[in-house]
Structure 1
């Protein structure tokens, strides 16, 4: 739980801690994962908007980076999350 100590010290909202732990648990060795916001919301029993706010909180504090992925035909794909 060492990775959470600094997160708790930042005083981020509990929603951000829950989303961070969820993403950290699903990340590969490189710290990346790409679950849909709807999937995160469903699994954590939160609203989609709450998950979006949590992601914004984590980006603002530097614990998470998100990147839009694109399909070959130019359409949007899922977000790529990099957990730090």
Structure 2
């Protein structure tokens, strides 16, 4: 059975599937990654708004959780994403 089988058979919009695959490709073996929204949008050739909607879709459906990261100066940094395995959620 393929790694993304449950993702393919889900009711998620294609934007969410695409973003999940992107994040999966960039995550470590624990499923963590922290690309910026702008980086995801640029590399996938999607708008920032579309990427944000995709992340919301993935969170609602249990495919990922996110955590805000902070700089030492107190400013916001990119989010930390924690992916759940597509076939084991």
Sort the TM-score into its range (normalised by shorter chain). over 0.9
Deviations 1:23-52 (A, max 9, x none): 000000110000000000000000000000
Normalised by the length of structure 1, the TM-score is 0.94
SS in structure 1 at match of 2:73: coil
- For structure 2, the residue ranges without an aligned partner over 5 or more in a row are 85-89
Aligned length: 84
When you count helix as a share of all residues, which structure comes out higher?
1
Identify the residue that residue 38 of structure 1 maps to in structure 2.
Answer: 38
Normalised by the length of structure 2, the TM-score is 0.89
- Which ranges of 4 or more aligned residues in structure 1 deviate by more than 4 Å? none
Q: CA deviation at 1:61?
A: 0.3
Q: Distance in 1 between matches of 2:54 and 2:4?
A: 15
When you count strand as a share of all residues, which structure comes out higher?
1
Q: Distance in 2 between matches of 1:37 and 1:73?
A: 21
